[in-house]
Amino acid sequence: MDTASSRLSLGRLLLTGAAGDLGRVLRARLAPRCTLLRVSDVATMESAASGEEVIQAALEDRAAVHALLQGIDAVVHLGGISTEHPFDAILQANIVGTYNLYEAARQHGVKRIVFASSNHVTGFYRQDEVIDATLPARPDSYYGLSKAFGENLSRFYFDRYGIETVCLRIGSSFPEPKDRRMLATWLSYDDLERLVVAALTAPVAGHSIVYGMSDNTSTWWDNTPARHIGFRPQDSSEPYRAAVEARQPTLDPQDPAVKYQGGAFVRMGPFE
């Protein structure tokens, strides 16, 4: 990727969730653009390369999170639980943890956060609907609820304290689409990088919500309200369509995972 925005320095950047699948992808891609890349996760991470700091911390540990934000210009917040879990686990990592991050950002004067939200904030819209970020949330899971909370929290911190946030409602970011749902929701790794860099370098971000998807032929999401961010996906799921449809030739329209945009998340739980 070689665009004007990608060549801009990202300064001193904190990447949370750096041990996760997308965290590892972005760590390698963002590091060359940073004065310093500080990476954090509750899990073990690879040792620091030149220009990196590696700090193991739990998001629910308020003092540890406050230390993470010291001397940081911007944050890419991928940290937390990324799938459906019992509410108590979601509460600590995704709700308490996100509050700790924003409060630390306020205290340390951080002015831009890229928040990894999720398409599961709107998972109970149907697959025969095309929606945009101006419509009400319809979470499909405890996980989706936690991301809706994060979006509302980031709105509050923008309105009251001026901390800009770009909320990324990430679809399905994998090397290639795995099933027919992902023909609509797929986000390539290159487009993920383009999305995060655009969110960090947009001259004015305000409080914005962007669906994280590639330039797929079929999709359920309209990013028109977020065009000011400057994200222009360049990849598409279309080259994978024939192989995906051959693997999954029929779908049951009565299956909630086929009916609703959230897919399998709409039928997960309850947890004992």
Tokens 């210009």 -> residue: 73
Q: What secondary structure letter does DSSP report for 186?
A: B
143 is catalytic: yes
Closest CA to 215 of 190, 233, 242, 241: 233
User: What H or E segment, with its residue span, contains residue 199?
Assistant: helix 189-201
Of the residues 143, 157, 211, 260, only one is catalytic, namely 143
User: Which tokens go with 26?
Assistant: 């972005």
CA distance 194 to 198: 6
> What is the DSSP code string of 111-175?
-EEEEEEEGGGGTTSBTT--B-TTSPP---SHHHHHHHHHHHHHHHHHHHH--EEEEEEE-B-SS
Closest CA to 73 of 9, 144, 161: 9
The catalytic residues are 143
